């Protein structure tokens, strides 16, 4: 996932980080606990037996997780 910041605390304005799917599940649960009535976006599916090639599935999930963060 690529993150961008305009904070002066960071020298690099763009960085790439690796996260496991379970870390997004944890993050979503934490957001739900504190969100009140504000809806928390859904995560993309964890796996699909008929997902096509592994590379395609991983890229599709990566895009879904990126959209989750942007929302």
What CATH number does residue 31 fall under? 3.30.1520.10
Q: How many separate domains does the chain show?
A: 1
27 assigned to some structural domain: yes
pLDDT score, position 49:
59
Cα–Cα distance for residue pair 10/43, rounded to 1 Å: 28
pTM of the model: 0.69
29 assigned to some structural domain: yes
pLDDT average, residue stretch 8-25: 87
Cα–Cα distance for residue pair 49/47, rounded to 1 Å: 7
54 assigned to some structural domain: yes
Domain hosting residue 63, numbered range: 20-70
11 assigned to some structural domain: no
Mean pLDDT over each residue of the chain, to the nearest integer? 85
pLDDT band of 52, cuts 50, 70, 90 = low
66 assigned to some structural domain: yes
6 assigned to some structural domain: no
Cα–Cα distance for residue pair 36/48, rounded to 1 Å: 31
């Amino acid at each position: 996932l690529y993150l961008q910041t305009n904070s002066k605390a960071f020298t690099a304005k763009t960085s790439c980080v690796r996260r496991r799917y379970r870390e997004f599940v944890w993050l979503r649960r934490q957001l739900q606990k504190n969100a009140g009535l504000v809806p928390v976006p859904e995560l993309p599916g964890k796996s699909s037996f008929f997902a096509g090639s592994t590379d395609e599935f991983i890229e599709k999930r990566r895009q879904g997780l990126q959209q989750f963060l942007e929302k």
